[in-house]
């Protein structure tokens, strides 16, 4: 993690703590103490899903009483049973039918948020993040992005001294972050925060932004702190950028309410390991740096891991696929935006292309050679030279092993040799597996069974072949549905 696992809150305010945990996709419990107040945030894969507090005001019953949803008598009953039974207050309220299951869901999520929001205003205290699996599986969990939690928490701060203490010096020059993992969180900036963001141009200092903005100084400073805390901006000394670069990056930064196309995510993931870096970003190999950057930021926004929070029934599969896509897009970008890495990649890509082309040429050459061997095999078979036919067809199979016709004819040639019927059978079976709708392979195998005296097996195979080729005269004749016997003439001359 970018911060210590245990430290003072004055040194590392809550936004930086939870942002750091989110970047690491960490799981564990964040314990926060301020005098006698103890709060615990349960975090899974970087996202806050649940919270607990020892403050009476943070109890679910107090929240429901304060909102007027339950009365004092109902509250006292639930508080008494809480002490007597040790059950959760929500469970007691539900069992007593003081609230409905739907209301419980809404108010528990509100309770979790309230527990978290109050911590943002703490001026002192300690925190400790305990890594490890969570001790319980919560039924009701918070489904809100880290960025939005930070935004809501900061909006509730009313202490100017606190904001100034947590902000960089007023002479600092903020610039837009180049890390889409921060920029494209599923955050909802209000119009005031967006107006401040537009004043971040790599030249204006914090105090300049406050002076230029039409907002009161405290509101402007709070919005600047909000943008720092959510990772939208950082100090210029940490990453100097040209004005042109900033315009490119700022373009996608807006409140996002687009729906998530799940099918598109599945399709993109299925192509993940087939595409090269240029195909991954959807750009040409001669794309400019600006085109590369635009493509990256568009895709980074589209496949940001936080987007799964927009889905009502987001699965672990979708989350994992988004994270894999985001990582692959970022990997492609980091290579193509770096001049030296891009040159090395282009060289390796060209080498792979040449190797692939050579392989294709070899493959085509082998196919042509296999065809020539097949013709030799057929000629030998017509002459009754089955040994010569088998040798030629064996070479054809080696050169083009996926050609079912060669396997079928090889089996046909072997069927004329003593003690080779089993090998002939296996070769024809492979041909049928490759081309299960080709009646010729069935006929060749049926011939083998007939030679072996397996009449029933031969007939069953022909019946199967008839499903694929119901007008085939050879099959109909052998099954006695046409006059004459065809196998004798067919396999005595072996002419095709």
pLDDT of residue 256: 45
- Residue 189 neighbours by CB distance under 10 Å: 22
Element (H, E) at 40: strand 37-44
Residues 190 and 269 in one domain: no
Same domain membership, residue 364 and residue 482:
yes
Whether 22 and 119 map to the same domain: the answer is yes
Q: What does the pLDDT look like over 371-410, one tens digit per residue?
A: 999 999 999 999 999 999 999 999 999 999 989 999 999 9
Question: Domain holding 480: CATH number?
Answer: 1.25.40.10
Any domain includes 388 = yes
* Whether residues 198 and 124 fall in one domain: no
Pair (154, 171) in one structural domain:
yes
Tokens of 138: 């919560």
Distance CA 409, CA 400 (A): 14
- 105 in any annotated domain: yes
Least confident of 259-263, 317-321, 335-339, 384-388: 259-263
DSSP letter assigned to residue 124: S
Domain of 275, CATH number, reads 1.10.287.110
Question: Residue 468 and residue 432: Cα distance in Å, rounded?
Answer: 12
Residue 348 lies in a domain: no
Give me the mean pLDDT over the 470-474 stretch: 87
Q: How far apart are CA 102 and CA 105, in angstroms?
A: 5
My answer on whether 49 and 74 are in the same domain is: yes
Report residue 232's pLDDT band, with 50, 70 and 90 as the boundaries.
Answer: confident
Residues 237 and 267 in one domain: no
Separation of CA 205 from chain center: 39
Domain boundary among 143, 165, 188: 143
Output the pLDDT for position 24: 84
Average pLDDT, the chain: 84
On whether both 153 and 246 belong to a single domain, the answer is yes
pLDDT at 254 over 50: no
Q: Which two tokens stand for residue 449?
A: 């069974």
Helices 421-434 & 404-414 angle (0-180, nearest 10): 160
Where would I find the H helices in 282-338? Answer: 289-302, 316-336
Residues in the chain: 496
Question: Across the chain, how many H-helices and E-strands are there?
Answer: 24, 7
If DSSP codes are grouped into helix, strand and coil, which group holds residue 18?
helix
Q: Which of 215, 250, 285 represents a domain boundary (last residue)?
A: 250
pLDDT at site 139: 62
Q: pLDDT for 142-187, tens place per residue?
A: 777 788 888 999 999 999 988 998 899 999 999 887 666 666 566 7
**Greater confidence, 489 or 477?**
477
Domain residues for 100?
A: 6-143
Least trusted range by pLDDT, from 200-204, 271-275, 303-307, 462-466:
303-307
Place of tokens 């314990």: 31
Q: Verify that 182 and 242 share a domain, yes or no.
A: yes
Residue 260: pLDDT band with limits 50, 70, 90: low
Q: Could you give the number of structural domains in the chain?
A: 4
**Residue 493, pLDDT score:** 40
pTM above 0.95, yes or no: no
Contacts of residue 223, defined as CB under 8 A and 6 or more positions apart, other chains included, come to 192, 193, 196, 215
Cα–Cα distance for residue pair 277/59, rounded to 1 Å: 52
Do 361 and 484 have their domain in common?
A: yes
Once rounded to an integer, what is the mean pLDDT over residues 346-360?
Answer: 76
CB contact set of 399 (below 8 Å; sequence gap of 6+): 366, 367, 369, 370, 373
CA 492 → CA 412, 415, 435, 487, 496, distances in Å? Answer: 12, 12, 26, 8, 12
Q: What percent of the chain has pLDDT over 90?
A: 39
- Asked whether residue 26 is assigned to any structural domain, the reply reads yes
| Cα separation, 79 vs 88, whole angstroms | 10
Domain end (from 143, 168, 198): 143
């Amino acid at each position: 993690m970018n911060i210590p696992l245990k430290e003072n809150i004055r040194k590392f305010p809550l936004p930086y703590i939870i942002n750091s945990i989110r970047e690491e996709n960490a799981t564990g419990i964040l314990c926060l103490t301020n005098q006698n107040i103890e709060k615990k945030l349960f975090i899974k894969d970087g996202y806050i899903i649940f919270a607990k507090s020892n403050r009476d005001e943070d109890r679910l019953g107090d929240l429901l009483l304060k909102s007027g949803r339950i009365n004092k008598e109902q509250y006292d009953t639930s508080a008494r049973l809480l002490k007597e039974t040790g059950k959760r207050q929500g469970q007691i309220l539900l069992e007593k039918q003081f609230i409905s299951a739907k209301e419980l869901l809404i108010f528990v999520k509100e309770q979790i948020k309230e527990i978290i929001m109050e911590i943002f205003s703490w001026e002192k205290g300690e925190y400790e993040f305990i890594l490890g699996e969570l001790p319980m599986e919560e039924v009701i969990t918070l489904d809100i992005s880290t960025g939005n939690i930070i935004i809501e928490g900061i909006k509730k701060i009313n202490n100017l001294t606190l904001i100034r203490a947590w902000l960089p010096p007023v002479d600092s020059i903020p610039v837009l972050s180049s890390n889409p993992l921060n920029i494209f969180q599923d955050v909802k900036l209000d119009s005031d925060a967006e107006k401040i963001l537009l004043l971040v141009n790599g030249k204006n200092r914090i105090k300049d932004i406050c002076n230029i903005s039409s907002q009161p100084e405290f509101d402007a400073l709070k919005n600047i702190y909000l943008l720092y805390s959510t990772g939208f901006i950082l100090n210029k000394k940490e990453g100097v950028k040209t004005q042109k670069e900033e315009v490119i990056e700022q373009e996608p930064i807006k409140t996002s309410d687009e729906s998530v196309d799940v099918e598109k995510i599945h399709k993109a993931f299925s192509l993940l390991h087939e595409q090269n870096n240029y195909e991954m970003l959807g750009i040409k190999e001669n794309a400019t740096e600006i085109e590369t950057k635009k493509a990256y930021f568009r895709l980074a926004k589209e496949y940001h891991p936080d987007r799964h929070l927009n889905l009502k029934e987001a699965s672990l599969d979708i989350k994992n696929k988004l994270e894999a896509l985001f990582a692959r897009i970022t990997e492609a970008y980091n290579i193509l935006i770096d001049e030296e890495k891009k040159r090395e990649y282009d060289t390796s890509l060209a080498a792979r292309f040449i190797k692939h082309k050579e392989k294709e040429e070899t493959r085509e050459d082998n196919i042509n050679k296999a065809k020539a061997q097949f013709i030799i095999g057929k000629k030998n078979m017509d002459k009754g030279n089955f040994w010569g036919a088998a040798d030629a067809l064996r070479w054809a199979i080696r050169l083009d092993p996926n050609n079912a016709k060669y396997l079928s004819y090889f089996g046909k040639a072997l069927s004329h040799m003593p003690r080779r019927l089993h090998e002939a059978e296996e070769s024809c079976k492979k041909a049928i597996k490759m081309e299960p709708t080709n009646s010729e392979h069935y006929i060749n195998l049926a011939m083998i069974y007939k030679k072996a005296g397996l009449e029933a097996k031969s007939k069953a195979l022909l019946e199967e072949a008839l499903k694929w080729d119901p007008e085939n005269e050879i099959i109909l004749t052998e099954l006695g549905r046409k006059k004459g016997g065809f196998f004798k003439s067919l396999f005595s001359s072996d002419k095709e």
